[in-house]
Structure 1
Amino acid sequence: MTCINRRDIGLLVLRIGTGAVLAAHGSQKLFGWFGGGGLDATAAGMEHMGFKPGRHSAAAAGLGEAGGGALLALGLATPVAGAAAAGAMAGAVAVHAPAGFFAQGGGFEYPAFLGFTAAVIGLTGPGRYSLDRATCHRFDQPWTVAVAFTGSALATAAVVSRRTRVLAEAKTAADNGADPEGQNA
Protein backbone atom coordinates (compact mmCIF):
# COMPACT_ATOMS: atom_id res chain seq x y z
CA MET A 1 0.00 0.00 0.00
CA THR A 2 1.37 3.40 -1.00
CA CYS A 3 1.23 6.12 1.59
CA ILE A 4 0.09 9.55 0.45
CA ASN A 5 2.80 12.06 1.23
CA ARG A 6 1.57 15.48 2.37
CA ARG A 7 4.68 17.15 0.93
CA ASP A 8 3.95 15.74 -2.52
CA ILE A 9 0.33 16.91 -2.30
CA GLY A 10 1.55 20.33 -1.13
CA LEU A 11 4.00 20.58 -4.05
CA LEU A 12 1.23 19.57 -6.46
CA VAL A 13 -1.11 22.28 -5.17
CA LEU A 14 1.67 24.89 -5.11
CA ARG A 15 2.80 23.96 -8.62
CA ILE A 16 -0.71 24.09 -10.07
CA GLY A 17 -1.60 27.37 -8.35
CA THR A 18 1.63 29.17 -9.19
CA GLY A 19 1.77 27.71 -12.68
CA ALA A 20 -1.81 28.69 -13.46
CA VAL A 21 -1.27 32.30 -12.33
CA LEU A 22 1.92 32.58 -14.38
CA ALA A 23 0.35 30.93 -17.44
CA ALA A 24 -2.63 33.30 -17.26
CA HIS A 25 -0.38 36.37 -17.11
CA GLY A 26 1.73 35.10 -19.99
CA SER A 27 -1.40 34.37 -22.03
CA GLN A 28 -2.48 37.97 -21.55
CA LYS A 29 0.81 39.12 -23.04
CA LEU A 30 0.96 36.64 -25.90
CA PHE A 31 -2.66 36.15 -26.94
CA GLY A 32 -4.72 38.88 -25.30
CA TRP A 33 -6.58 36.29 -23.23
CA PHE A 34 -8.09 37.13 -19.83
CA GLY A 35 -8.34 40.83 -20.65
CA GLY A 36 -4.74 41.20 -21.82
CA GLY A 37 -3.54 43.32 -24.69
CA GLY A 38 -1.88 40.60 -26.74
CA LEU A 39 1.58 40.67 -28.27
CA ASP A 40 1.29 44.00 -30.10
CA ALA A 41 0.04 45.96 -27.10
CA THR A 42 2.53 44.22 -24.81
CA ALA A 43 5.35 45.05 -27.23
CA ALA A 44 4.34 48.73 -27.19
CA GLY A 45 4.23 48.65 -23.39
CA MET A 46 7.64 46.98 -23.22
CA GLU A 47 9.12 49.66 -25.48
CA HIS A 48 7.61 52.34 -23.23
CA MET A 49 9.18 50.66 -20.16
CA GLY A 50 12.61 50.66 -21.84
CA PHE A 51 12.73 47.04 -23.02
CA LYS A 52 14.01 47.16 -26.59
CA PRO A 53 13.20 45.65 -28.96
CA GLY A 54 9.69 45.59 -27.52
CA ARG A 55 8.31 42.69 -29.56
CA HIS A 56 11.18 40.36 -28.61
CA SER A 57 10.90 41.42 -24.98
CA ALA A 58 7.13 40.88 -24.98
CA ALA A 59 7.50 37.43 -26.52
CA ALA A 60 10.24 36.45 -24.07
CA ALA A 61 8.24 37.67 -21.05
CA GLY A 62 5.07 36.01 -22.30
CA LEU A 63 6.80 32.71 -23.03
CA GLY A 64 8.65 32.77 -19.70
CA GLU A 65 5.36 33.26 -17.88
CA ALA A 66 2.97 31.16 -20.01
CA GLY A 67 5.42 28.39 -20.89
CA GLY A 68 7.13 28.33 -17.53
CA GLY A 69 3.78 28.43 -15.76
CA ALA A 70 2.25 25.63 -17.81
CA LEU A 71 5.32 23.42 -17.32
CA LEU A 72 5.35 24.15 -13.58
CA ALA A 73 1.69 23.20 -13.29
CA LEU A 74 2.37 19.94 -15.12
CA GLY A 75 5.58 19.26 -13.24
CA LEU A 76 7.48 18.83 -16.50
CA ALA A 77 11.04 20.08 -17.01
CA THR A 78 10.58 21.68 -13.62
CA PRO A 79 14.05 23.28 -13.30
CA VAL A 80 13.73 24.94 -16.71
CA ALA A 81 10.16 26.02 -15.97
CA GLY A 82 11.09 27.50 -12.61
CA ALA A 83 14.13 29.30 -14.00
CA ALA A 84 12.23 30.73 -16.97
CA ALA A 85 9.38 32.00 -14.82
CA ALA A 86 11.76 33.41 -12.20
CA GLY A 87 13.71 35.24 -14.91
CA ALA A 88 10.55 36.77 -16.36
CA MET A 89 9.49 37.88 -12.89
CA ALA A 90 12.92 39.41 -12.24
CA GLY A 91 12.32 41.65 -15.25
CA ALA A 92 8.94 42.64 -13.80
CA VAL A 93 10.59 43.37 -10.44
CA ALA A 94 12.98 45.77 -12.20
CA VAL A 95 10.00 47.67 -13.62
CA HIS A 96 8.14 47.88 -10.30
CA ALA A 97 11.13 48.48 -8.00
CA PRO A 98 11.02 52.30 -8.19
CA ALA A 99 7.53 52.19 -6.63
CA GLY A 100 8.82 50.37 -3.54
CA PHE A 101 7.96 46.97 -2.15
CA PHE A 102 4.19 46.76 -1.65
CA ALA A 103 1.93 45.90 -4.59
CA GLN A 104 -0.73 48.27 -3.27
CA GLY A 105 1.50 51.19 -4.28
CA GLY A 106 2.63 49.61 -7.57
CA GLY A 107 5.68 47.97 -5.99
CA PHE A 108 7.45 44.73 -6.75
CA GLU A 109 5.93 42.52 -4.03
CA TYR A 110 3.73 40.42 -6.36
CA PRO A 111 6.21 39.65 -9.15
CA ALA A 112 8.90 38.97 -6.54
CA PHE A 113 6.64 36.49 -4.76
CA LEU A 114 5.79 34.69 -8.01
CA GLY A 115 9.45 34.62 -9.04
CA PHE A 116 10.66 33.27 -5.71
CA THR A 117 7.92 30.65 -5.67
CA ALA A 118 8.73 29.51 -9.22
CA ALA A 119 12.44 29.38 -8.37
CA VAL A 120 11.86 27.33 -5.23
CA ILE A 121 9.72 24.83 -7.13
CA GLY A 122 12.39 24.62 -9.84
CA LEU A 123 15.09 23.97 -7.24
CA THR A 124 13.05 21.66 -5.00
CA GLY A 125 11.58 19.54 -7.75
CA PRO A 126 8.01 18.75 -8.70
CA GLY A 127 7.22 15.99 -6.22
CA ARG A 128 5.71 12.58 -6.80
CA TYR A 129 2.60 13.73 -8.67
CA SER A 130 4.24 15.16 -11.77
CA LEU A 131 5.09 14.47 -15.38
CA ASP A 132 8.77 14.65 -14.47
CA ARG A 133 8.29 11.60 -12.27
CA ALA A 134 6.23 9.87 -14.97
CA THR A 135 9.13 10.39 -17.43
CA CYS A 136 11.70 9.11 -14.91
CA HIS A 137 12.97 12.67 -14.43
CA ARG A 138 14.35 12.81 -17.97
CA PHE A 139 14.01 16.63 -17.96
CA ASP A 140 14.72 17.07 -14.25
CA GLN A 141 18.39 16.27 -13.79
CA PRO A 142 20.90 17.97 -11.47
CA TRP A 143 22.79 19.42 -14.44
CA THR A 144 19.49 20.83 -15.78
CA VAL A 145 19.04 22.83 -12.57
CA ALA A 146 22.50 24.39 -12.89
CA VAL A 147 22.21 25.16 -16.61
CA ALA A 148 18.64 26.50 -16.40
CA PHE A 149 19.22 28.83 -13.46
CA THR A 150 22.61 30.03 -14.72
CA GLY A 151 21.18 30.72 -18.17
CA SER A 152 18.15 32.49 -16.77
CA ALA A 153 20.26 34.62 -14.43
CA LEU A 154 22.63 35.65 -17.25
CA ALA A 155 19.80 36.43 -19.67
CA THR A 156 17.88 38.39 -17.05
CA ALA A 157 20.96 40.38 -16.06
CA ALA A 158 21.63 41.25 -19.71
CA VAL A 159 18.02 42.33 -20.37
CA VAL A 160 17.71 44.40 -17.19
CA SER A 161 21.12 45.98 -17.77
CA ARG A 162 20.16 46.94 -21.33
CA ARG A 163 16.89 48.42 -20.06
CA THR A 164 18.80 50.46 -17.47
CA ARG A 165 21.08 51.84 -20.20
CA VAL A 166 18.14 52.66 -22.49
CA LEU A 167 16.34 54.51 -19.69
CA ALA A 168 19.51 56.40 -18.72
CA GLU A 169 20.09 57.46 -22.34
CA ALA A 170 16.48 58.62 -22.65
CA LYS A 171 16.77 60.62 -19.43
CA THR A 172 20.02 62.23 -20.58
CA ALA A 173 18.46 63.12 -23.92
CA ALA A 174 15.40 64.59 -22.21
CA ASP A 175 17.58 66.58 -19.78
CA ASN A 176 19.48 68.00 -22.76
CA GLY A 177 16.26 68.99 -24.52
CA ALA A 178 16.53 66.29 -27.19
CA ASP A 179 13.61 64.11 -28.18
CA PRO A 180 14.73 60.53 -27.38
CA GLU A 181 12.22 59.05 -29.81
CA GLY A 182 13.27 61.33 -32.64
CA GLN A 183 9.87 63.00 -32.69
CA ASN A 184 8.90 66.59 -32.00
CA ALA A 185 6.62 67.14 -29.03
Structure 2
Amino acid sequence: MTRQTRRDLGLLALRLGAGAVLAAHGTQKLFGWFGGGGINGTGQAFESMGFRPGRATALASGLGEAGGGALLALGLATPVAGAAAAGAMAGAASVHVPNGFFSQKGGLEFPGVLGWTAASLGVTGAGRYSLDHVTGHRLDRIWMIPVAFTVSAVAAAALIGKRVKGLAAAEDDEDA
Protein backbone atom coordinates (compact mmCIF):
# COMPACT_ATOMS: atom_id res chain seq x y z
CA MET A 1 0.00 0.00 0.00
CA THR A 2 1.42 3.39 -0.96
CA ARG A 3 1.55 6.47 1.26
CA GLN A 4 -0.96 8.17 -1.03
CA THR A 5 -3.39 5.27 -0.68
CA ARG A 6 -3.00 5.31 3.12
CA ARG A 7 -3.63 9.08 3.14
CA ASP A 8 -6.71 8.75 0.96
CA LEU A 9 -8.12 5.90 3.05
CA GLY A 10 -7.50 7.92 6.21
CA LEU A 11 -9.29 10.93 4.74
CA LEU A 12 -12.18 8.71 3.69
CA ALA A 13 -12.51 7.25 7.19
CA LEU A 14 -12.29 10.69 8.80
CA ARG A 15 -14.83 12.17 6.37
CA LEU A 16 -17.28 9.32 6.87
CA GLY A 17 -17.07 9.43 10.65
CA ALA A 18 -17.20 13.18 11.16
CA GLY A 19 -19.67 13.69 8.33
CA ALA A 20 -22.06 11.08 9.72
CA VAL A 21 -21.99 12.59 13.22
CA LEU A 22 -22.55 16.09 11.86
CA ALA A 23 -25.35 14.96 9.54
CA ALA A 24 -27.08 13.07 12.37
CA HIS A 25 -27.00 16.15 14.61
CA GLY A 26 -28.31 18.31 11.79
CA THR A 27 -31.21 15.97 11.08
CA GLN A 28 -32.15 16.13 14.76
CA LYS A 29 -32.59 19.87 14.32
CA LEU A 30 -34.24 19.79 10.91
CA PHE A 31 -36.51 16.73 11.11
CA GLY A 32 -36.59 15.61 14.74
CA TRP A 33 -34.79 12.38 13.87
CA PHE A 34 -32.73 10.49 16.46
CA GLY A 35 -34.63 12.07 19.34
CA GLY A 36 -34.16 15.64 18.16
CA GLY A 37 -36.59 18.50 18.50
CA GLY A 38 -37.12 19.25 14.81
CA ILE A 39 -37.27 22.85 13.62
CA ASN A 40 -39.95 23.94 16.11
CA GLY A 41 -38.47 22.29 19.19
CA THR A 42 -34.93 23.27 18.30
CA GLY A 43 -36.08 26.81 17.50
CA GLN A 44 -37.63 27.10 20.96
CA ALA A 45 -34.46 25.75 22.54
CA PHE A 46 -32.35 28.21 20.55
CA GLU A 47 -34.61 31.09 21.67
CA SER A 48 -34.03 30.06 25.30
CA MET A 49 -30.26 30.12 24.65
CA GLY A 50 -30.48 33.67 23.28
CA PHE A 51 -30.45 32.95 19.55
CA ARG A 52 -33.11 35.09 17.86
CA PRO A 53 -35.03 34.31 15.83
CA GLY A 54 -34.78 30.76 17.13
CA ARG A 55 -36.47 28.98 14.24
CA ALA A 56 -34.27 30.66 11.61
CA THR A 57 -31.17 29.90 13.67
CA ALA A 58 -32.26 26.27 14.03
CA LEU A 59 -32.70 26.04 10.27
CA ALA A 60 -29.27 27.57 9.60
CA SER A 61 -27.60 25.35 12.20
CA GLY A 62 -29.37 22.23 10.96
CA LEU A 63 -28.44 22.95 7.34
CA GLY A 64 -24.81 23.67 8.28
CA GLU A 65 -24.55 20.42 10.21
CA ALA A 66 -26.68 18.09 8.03
CA GLY A 67 -25.64 19.58 4.70
CA GLY A 68 -22.03 20.14 5.61
CA GLY A 69 -21.79 16.71 7.20
CA ALA A 70 -23.37 14.89 4.26
CA LEU A 71 -21.15 16.73 1.78
CA LEU A 72 -18.06 15.97 3.87
CA ALA A 73 -18.97 12.27 4.02
CA LEU A 74 -19.40 12.23 0.23
CA GLY A 75 -16.28 14.33 -0.33
CA LEU A 76 -18.20 16.84 -2.44
CA ALA A 77 -17.61 20.61 -2.38
CA THR A 78 -15.26 19.91 0.50
CA PRO A 79 -14.12 23.51 1.19
CA VAL A 80 -17.71 24.75 1.39
CA ALA A 81 -18.84 21.69 3.37
CA GLY A 82 -16.02 22.06 5.89
CA ALA A 83 -16.60 25.78 6.29
CA ALA A 84 -20.38 25.36 6.74
CA ALA A 85 -19.99 22.65 9.36
CA ALA A 86 -17.22 24.55 11.16
CA GLY A 87 -19.37 27.68 11.28
CA ALA A 88 -22.28 25.73 12.75
CA MET A 89 -19.97 24.23 15.36
CA ALA A 90 -18.62 27.68 16.24
CA GLY A 91 -22.17 28.68 17.16
CA ALA A 92 -22.58 25.51 19.23
CA ALA A 93 -19.23 26.01 20.95
CA SER A 94 -20.22 29.56 21.92
CA VAL A 95 -23.05 28.14 24.03
CA HIS A 96 -20.72 25.71 25.80
CA VAL A 97 -17.80 28.10 26.48
CA PRO A 98 -19.02 29.11 29.97
CA ASN A 99 -18.84 25.45 31.02
CA GLY A 100 -15.16 25.08 30.22
CA PHE A 101 -13.54 22.60 27.88
CA PHE A 102 -14.58 19.06 28.85
CA SER A 103 -17.88 17.54 27.74
CA GLN A 104 -18.73 15.94 31.07
CA LYS A 105 -19.16 19.46 32.47
CA GLY A 106 -21.09 20.67 29.41
CA GLY A 107 -17.99 22.21 27.87
CA LEU A 108 -17.09 22.95 24.29
CA GLU A 109 -14.98 19.82 23.69
CA PHE A 110 -17.46 18.01 21.38
CA PRO A 111 -18.51 20.90 19.10
CA GLY A 112 -14.91 22.12 19.15
CA VAL A 113 -13.51 18.81 17.89
CA LEU A 114 -16.24 18.46 15.25
CA GLY A 115 -15.68 22.02 14.04
CA TRP A 116 -11.91 21.62 13.97
CA THR A 117 -12.21 18.34 12.07
CA ALA A 118 -14.64 19.82 9.53
CA ALA A 119 -12.40 22.85 9.02
CA SER A 120 -9.32 20.68 8.61
CA LEU A 121 -11.05 18.53 6.01
CA GLY A 122 -12.22 21.66 4.19
CA VAL A 123 -8.65 22.89 3.94
CA THR A 124 -6.99 19.51 3.25
CA GLY A 125 -9.48 18.25 0.69
CA ALA A 126 -11.35 14.99 0.44
CA GLY A 127 -8.72 12.80 -1.16
CA ARG A 128 -8.94 10.38 -4.05
CA TYR A 129 -11.92 8.38 -2.73
CA SER A 130 -14.41 11.21 -3.06
CA LEU A 131 -16.94 12.79 -5.36
CA ASP A 132 -14.66 15.82 -5.64
CA HIS A 133 -12.06 13.57 -7.25
CA VAL A 134 -14.66 11.92 -9.51
CA THR A 135 -15.91 15.33 -10.72
CA GLY A 136 -12.43 16.64 -11.45
CA HIS A 137 -12.55 18.95 -8.41
CA ARG A 138 -15.10 21.26 -10.04
CA LEU A 139 -16.48 22.11 -6.59
CA ASP A 140 -13.13 21.97 -4.80
CA ARG A 141 -11.02 24.85 -6.07
CA ILE A 142 -8.24 26.51 -4.11
CA TRP A 143 -9.97 29.92 -4.21
CA MET A 144 -13.03 28.38 -2.54
CA ILE A 145 -11.14 27.79 0.71
CA PRO A 146 -10.62 31.44 1.74
CA VAL A 147 -14.00 32.50 0.33
CA ALA A 148 -15.98 29.76 2.08
CA PHE A 149 -14.18 30.15 5.40
CA THR A 150 -14.48 33.95 5.33
CA VAL A 151 -18.21 33.79 4.66
CA SER A 152 -18.68 31.15 7.37
CA ALA A 153 -16.59 33.06 9.92
CA VAL A 154 -18.42 36.34 9.26
CA ALA A 155 -21.82 34.64 9.55
CA ALA A 156 -20.86 32.79 12.74
CA ALA A 157 -19.39 35.93 14.31
CA ALA A 158 -22.51 37.93 13.47
CA LEU A 159 -24.80 35.26 14.93
CA ILE A 160 -22.72 34.84 18.08
CA GLY A 161 -22.36 38.61 18.49
CA LYS A 162 -26.11 39.10 18.16
CA ARG A 163 -26.68 36.42 20.79
CA VAL A 164 -24.17 37.97 23.20
CA LYS A 165 -25.75 41.43 22.83
CA GLY A 166 -29.22 39.99 23.33
CA LEU A 167 -28.18 38.13 26.46
CA ALA A 168 -26.52 41.27 27.85
CA ALA A 169 -29.65 43.31 27.16
CA ALA A 170 -31.85 40.70 28.84
CA GLU A 171 -29.53 40.70 31.86
CA ASP A 172 -29.71 44.50 32.03
CA ASP A 173 -33.52 44.31 31.94
CA GLU A 174 -33.49 41.83 34.83
CA ASP A 175 -31.24 44.12 36.88
CA ALA A 176 -33.47 47.15 36.29
- With the shorter chain as reference, the TM-score category is over 0.9
Partner of 1:182: none
- TM-score of the two chains, using structure 1 as the length reference: 0.93
Partner of 2:152: 152
Separation in structure 2 between the aligned mates of residue 54 and residue 123 of structure 1, nearest angstrom: 30
Q: 5+ residue gaps in structure 2?
A: none
Task: Compute the displacement of 1:64 (Å).
Answer: 0.3
Which one has the bigger helix percentage? 2
Partner of 2:130: 130
Structure 1 residues 15-58: Cα deviation after superposition (integer angstroms, max 9, x where no partner): 00000000000000000001111110000011110110111100
Separation in structure 2 between the aligned mates of residue 138 and residue 106 of structure 1, nearest angstrom: 40
Q: 5+ residue gaps in structure 1?
A: 177-185
Partner of 1:181: none
Partner of 1:114: 114
Separation in structure 2 between the aligned mates of residue 173 and residue 55 of structure 1, nearest angstrom: 24
Structure 1 residues 125-180: Cα deviation after superposition (integer angstroms, max 9, x where no partner): 0000000000000000011111100000000010000000000000000111xxxx
Moved over 4 A (4+): none
The answer on 1:62 being equivalent to 2:62 is: yes
CA RMSD for the aligned pairs?
Answer: 1.0
Separation in structure 1 between the aligned mates of residue 8 and residue 129 of structure 2, nearest angstrom: 7
**Matches of residues 35-46 of structure 1 in structure 2 within 5 Å?**
35-46=35-46
Partner of 1:179: none
Partner SS, residue 141 of structure 1: coil
**Matches of residues 79-118 of structure 1 in structure 2 within 5 Å?**
79-118=79-118
Partner of 1:78: 78
Separation in structure 1 between the aligned mates of residue 35 and residue 49 of structure 2, nearest angstrom: 20
The answer on 1:21 being equivalent to 2:29 is: no
Task: Compute the displacement of 1:62 (Å).
Answer: 0.2
Separation in structure 1 between the aligned mates of residue 135 and residue 145 of structure 2, nearest angstrom: 17
- TM-score of the two chains, using structure 2 as the length reference: 0.98
Partner of 1:167: 167
Partner SS, residue 143 of structure 2: helix
